[in-house]
Structure 1
Amino acid sequence: MNDSGMEQPQEMWAAFLKGDDSGLEKLYQLYFDQLYAYGFRYCADAVFVEDAIQDLFIKFINTRHKLTLPVSVKNYLFRSFKNLLIDKLRAEKRLSANDSPFEFTLAVDDTVMEKEQAMLLQQKLQKAMEQLTARQREAIYLRFYENFSYQEISSILDLSPKATYKLMARSIEALRVIYKAGAAIILWALQASFLF
């Protein structure tokens, strides 16, 4: 446990690896909502996404003897969940081999600015986001909503760090052109927004 007395994800995972299933149960409770929100952007079928999360954690139990302690538990969970979810979607023919749908909607926090300005910003940014590729939207989601580092995003998207930086730069540049604003304004707008 850390100084605040709260058990950290690394400690929960380490306990699970040593045979304590409560460590995995705590991780399930800690990350379920985030994994669900991420999965729902690939497939808007709540039961399917919930089943996929449960399948992931069952897989961890069944393969515990092969698992190690990751550098970032959250990153490992997201990467593992994405791979399992895509495999399940393809197995059920809900997704072709070349598809990678990823959808999300922006909403601006009303405390950041007046409601009228917030609505205008939300509408303009949402229209701009809809013109990005699914991969670009996913990179922006992981960076600005889940606060993953570029290194972690590269792991989740199965890209090199250099390709991840390029993808993010191209995404922001595309938003800048579509939104007709400077890169600084786009970054501010993304940081002032939250995703639901």
Structure 2
Amino acid sequence: MRKFLSFFFFALFLISCGSTKNTGKVSEAIIGKETAKGKPSRRVGPNKNIATSKGSSSKEKIENTEDVKPKEIRENIIDFAKTFEGTRYKFGGTTEAGMDCSGLVFTAFQKENITLPRISRDMATKGILISFKDIEEGDLVFFKTSSKNIINHVGLVVEAKRGEVKFIHSTTRAGVIISSLEEDYWKKAFVEVRRVI
């Protein structure tokens, strides 16, 4: 019995944020179209700047009714995500009763009427790939924390200053916390950065 419980908890840890909970919503908006110079455009509004990344659809649209600065949207998303700090981990969760890593990111973006896929590995197909040196607050950081060699964890960058990157995410051990990419575990598991806004 003890071996079974150990195996069960180990398996749960390995899949951590690979939730497949169906939220019943369709992916509606990805903001941040690459311009000719390769930088994201700066205006956001209805049917403007729809993402061109793989996995995007020309039918995707944004629900915002007026032009809003991307920086303001990113700040709102970060501020809302931080309200969940201390929330316990719950596989498939998206509320203050408990949430997983992709649930936190999904919920924070949804507050700004931006619907991302519900699973971290699917989130990693949206937006545009960003060089680590160009990382900004509001970008998404992706990780491979299991032996399956697939993206299974996501965090939201809340600070990118003086070479240190801090991100908010939900972990199986501590729930929603802010971590640093300087921590050995996250540095080794890090895969890529993507910009959705």
* TM-score, length of structure 1 as denominator length: 0.28
Name the larger-Rg structure. Answer: 1
More helix by share: 1
More strand by share: 2
